[in-house]
Amino acid sequence: MLKKVGLMRGICLLGMFGMFAVGTGCGELKQLRVENQQLSQSLASLQQENANLSATASRYESELNRLENSRRDLESKLAGTGAITKIKDGSVSIVLPDSILFDPGQTKLREQSKATLKKIAGILKTDISNEMVRIEGHTDSDPIQKQKDKYPSNWELSTARANSVLHYLVDECGISPTRVYVAGFGQFQPISDNKTKAGKAQNRRVEFVIISGGG
């Protein structure tokens, strides 16, 4: 009798253990399924993000190619004028050293500069007929010595020089005044070292920044 009771208890305990084991296995399987679903969602999200990044990189590369082609085209058309073309802040820019445009410390255009400005105006009328153009004046870091009453700082000098170029393009070359505006940066956007004469000469310049989309 005692053997039968012990056997029955053993069978019951074994059955309870089996049920516990089966219950535990189901719980783990359910958790694995949840984790698998979460991983699948994360993978899908990463794949979408990768696709978005690839599309953005493709657009960026396409825009860079467009800008570089425009820059090269301008460079070819302005060959021999002393103008330099470059890409600046997502726009194509034409750079004219102040030695082409002005005598030292002056804001009146040199006669020799007008042929170059007429050529630029012709390009703005035909090849770049819709875009806005920002005419920027830049100086070196030397403080104003002469005409300090007229130009208290390099800001005033750089702006006056940009205005001289703008007026020539509008008044003499027929560029629409709705397409151009000026900005005077003084010495605060150098492209070279102001500690050398060569560097200062590069910093004294007027830039024509072509704003794509008219913005």
pLDDT at 5 over 70: no
Rounded CA-CA distance 152/144 in Å is 7
Q: What is the mean pLDDT of residues 47-76?
A: 91
Beta bridge partners of 97: 205
Report pLDDT for 13. Answer: 45
Q: Which helix (H) or strand (E) holds 24?
A: helix 2-77
Q: CB atoms < 10 A from the CB of 131, how many?
A: 17
> Could you tell me which residues are beta bridge partners of residue 2?
none
Q: What is the pLDDT of residue 14?
A: 46
Q: The whole model's pTM is what?
A: 0.76
Report the candidate in 114, 108, 123 with the shortest Cα–Cα distance to residue 96.
114
Per-residue pLDDT of 14-58, as tens digits, reads: 454 454 445 557 888 889 898 898 988 998 899 988 989 888 888
The pLDDT tens digits of the residues spanning 192-201 come to: 999 999 999 9
Separation CA 76–CA 21 (nearest Å): 81
Biggest CA–CA distance in the chain, Å, is 128
pLDDT value, residue 15: 53
- pLDDT number for residue 8: 52
Indicate the Cα dihedral angle 37, 42, 45, 47, nearest 10°: -100
For residues 141-165, average pLDDT: 95
pLDDT of residue 2: 40
